[in-house]
Structure 1
Amino acid sequence: MGHVDPVAPQTEATPRLWTRAFIILTISNLFLFLSFQMLIPTLPVFVANMGGDELAVGMVISVFTISALLARPFAGKALDSMDRRKVLVIGLILFILCSSGYYWMSTIFLVLSLRFIHGIGWGISTTAYGTIVSDLIPQQRRGEGMGYYGLSSNFAMAFAPLIGIWIMNDMGFGPLFTVSVTLGVIGLILSQFIHYPEPQRAPQSSSDEPERKGNFYAGLVERSSLFPSLLMLMISVTYGGIVSFITLFGKEVGIGNVGWFFLGNAVVIMLTRPFAGKLFDMKGHAWVLLPGIICLASGVLLLSFADTTTSLLIAAIFYGFGFGAVQPSLQAWTIDRAAPHRRGAANSTFFSAFDLGIGIGAMGLGAIANASSYALMYRYSAIMTVSFLVVYGWYLVRNRMNV
């Protein structure tokens, strides 16, 4: 029998969400994302100051994304078979060591090589955090819990880039990397004060041991997570187009500071996540995903027509509401569909789809922009939201008809 996935979950007694472990883990995740987000707008400048061309600057993002994508399935496998605390610590230490090494890299090749290793640490760490928090959140409050947990990364997304640029401009790259490392170390220290629940393991017997060994690579991907991960990939394509090209879009249409989009988007996401999570838990995914994707599509289309800071902020509000509703709901749905002993693989499958979508958006939409304009590129990217509606609508019809 396959996984039974009702549109609306059963209502049960409400268990406790705000445990000591959940709070500490969320704060630890916040410091990791602060360390990471500080470097997103500043490392390209670091490479450019070393004489790197546009290709080298673009590789700063793509190399990191590729290595994180490659690392996630193996991290998920390790999380399902090893002590999850050890996997998290390995990822965090690797991430911190790489953050401390950029200042000493003397060539662009060395920077990009370190960036590749940095992505591996990021892929392991974020997959581990997502898996561990899914152990800590009660199933009946998973949507709400994932929403609150996601606020930590959204807070970092809103403010860390501004802090990183300020430190870079006023103090230089040395202090920038020092602060980034310090934040990562704080996250590592906090992770040691968490009581890690014993994860549920798959039933073992001598008869199926050879089969499990033979299916090591097949076990890297959680099949039950493929459908919500596909939906995540679709919306992350639009996100890849935004993070990669919105600065160039601003220059094209004459908007001076496109940073307002990121700030407005992040603030609205923070306001949306808790409400959307509770709605997911009470009503089911359809009540969140359908209005969420409509708002997200509206945000992309409004962005394509934006030519003032005000219109840019309006687009950010719609996109932030949509993304803040859809992304944590899809992640909670991913966890709900997976068996407890497969949560590591489920999280890695989900985040890999997220990374892959960003990469597809950066490359595919960039080709469209080169042949037309950035405004038209964003209108084309809205096709992904239409595809989301078609695929998800097909799922709802099929599910209700018990096909």
Structure 2
Amino acid sequence: MADPVEKQALWTRAFVVTSISNLFLFLSFQMLIPTLPIFVERMGGDATQVGLVIGVFTISALLVRPFAGKWLDTIGRRNVLLIGLSLFILSVVGYYWMTVVSLVLLIRVVHGFGWGMTTTAYGTIASDIIPPKRRGEGMGYFGLSSNLAMALAPLLGIWLMDSFGFGYVFSISTALAVTSMLLSRLITIPPPIKRDVIPDQAGAKREGLFEKKAFFPSFLVMFLAVSYGGIVSFITLFGAEVGIANVGWYFFANALMVMLVRPFAGVIFDRRGHAWVLLPGALLTATGLLVLSYTDSLTMLIIAALCYGAGFGAVQPSLMAWTINRVPPHRRGAANGTYFSAFDLGIGAGAMLLGTVAQLTSYSMMYRLSLLLVAGFLVTYLIYLLRGGKIKEAASE
């Protein structure tokens, strides 16, 4: 008898269009990751201010995500997506007119609101479309759209910055975001998912902005997000410190490995459970950070990126699928909001706290100390397993 997992179609038109639309959003976003730190530095900003620019963005995304999750479950997926995309586009256009760091910080707040709403919406729409028994695999494939952008967009952004200036970077980024909005109109979004039983008034009140069942995997992803915040915020400046000219190759190698690992990790998650993915993934992430901290050549930089990408590519989508599996369908928006809020909190904390560490020591030491974050992840997860935590949980329909 055929495996029931194989009977459920994954590559539907809705799934493909959602993934492509998400791809263009991430292309727009990823172009700015290696270029905005240089943009701020050329305004006279130091490492702490660069960290603030990243941190303010992620904190604003963090603040809006719980509301976005609630709105997704109440006013509808498409409405939240379109509002978020509009804010995102307006903020990218606004960078062209910024002349001082304080104004960049202001526009980053709006950018973060748009980013928080759109990514929460896309993740929730994808989780609605993907068959429940293939959720790990499906979220892995859906994540390939963001990883492909991670591979291509930083190199494109750096090339545009060096060849034509920041005006072209912001113009192309805007055009890509507009394309994402146009494609989003073609997505067939499933009808709203209703509760099986109408809760009483007290039960309704308990269903707030955050989803309690999503807390544990969200807490785990926050550990790795702090280390990721240190990478996306400072890898360009780290390259200058150690004499590596184009660190865009780090993003390319990292994203390439994530793309290779995600589909396999998703299938393992669906069939064997999260322990088979999270433990080896965390060890590979730690290896990537350790190699990066001693990097002094392009070859070592690429090795570090491959290790970190393999680990992060296994862990992040598995934790996201685990989050969705733990909650009822009508709370997926809130669960995604909770998960991405934790992810943003980690990136924001990494940008600000690790930026201060780098200023007091060096970027190399900052990445070395980031190993403590992976240790925290492993200890927390092992305690969960030792206390009888389930390695595999049934997926919610």
Normalised by the length of structure 2, the TM-score is 0.91
CA distance in 1, matches of 2:276, 2:88: 38
Verify: 1:163 aligned to 2:156, yes or no.
yes
Q: Work out the CA distance in 1 between the residues paired with 2:323 and 2:144.
A: 19
Aligned positions of 1:48-59 closer than 5 A: 48-52=41-45, 54-59=47-52
Q: CA offset at residue 177 of structure 1?
A: 2.3
Equivalent of 2:70 in 57, 77, 82:
77
- How many positions carry a matched residue from both structures? 389
Paired residues for 1:3-402 under 5 Å: 12=5, 14-52=7-45, 54-105=47-98, 107-203=100-196, 205=198, 208-209=200-201, 212=204, 214-215=205-206, 219-399=208-388
Contact 1:14 1:141 in 2 (8 A): no
Taking a change above 3 Å as real, the CA distance of residues 14 and 383 of structure 1, as seen in their structure-2 partners, is: farther
From the superposition, tell whether residues 13 and 43 of structure 1 become closer, same or farther in structure 2 (CA, over 3 Å): closer
* CA spacing shift, 1:255–1:51, aligned 2, 3 Å: closer
Q: Which amino acid aligns with 1:96?
A: I
Following TM superposition, the consecutive aligned residue runs of length 4 or more in structure 1 with deviations greater than 6 angstroms are none
Alpha carbons of 1:47 and 1:238: their partners in 2 closer, same or farther (altered >3 Å)? Answer: closer
Q: CA RMSD in A?
A: 2.3
SS at match of 2:96: helix
2: distance between equivalents of 1:401 and 1:40?
37
Change (3 A) 1:185 1:227: same
Greater CA drift, 234-243 or 303-312: 303-312
Q: 5+ residue gaps in structure 1?
A: 1-9
Cα separation, 1, equivalents of 2:277 and 2:390: 21
Identity %: 60
Give how far 1:11 is off: 6.6
The one-letter amino acid paired with 1:144 is E
| Structure 2 segments unaligned to the other structure (5+ residues) | 392-397
Q: 1 CA distance for matches of 2:79 and 2:73?
A: 12
Residue type at the aligned position of 1:208: D
- The aligned counterpart of 1:6 is none
Q: Distance in 1 between matches of 2:45 and 2:390?
A: 56
Q: Give, in whole Å, the separation in 1 of the partners of 2:245 and 2:115.
A: 32
- Deviations along 1:12-35, whole A, 9 cap, x unmatched? 553000000000000000001111
**d(CA) in 2 for partners of 1:294 and 1:57?**
29
In structure 2, C-alpha distance between the alignment counterparts of 1:315 and 1:267, rounded to whole Å: 13
Contact 2:48–2:356 (CA under 8 A) maintained in structure 1 = no
Task: Give the partner amino acid of 1:314.
Answer: I
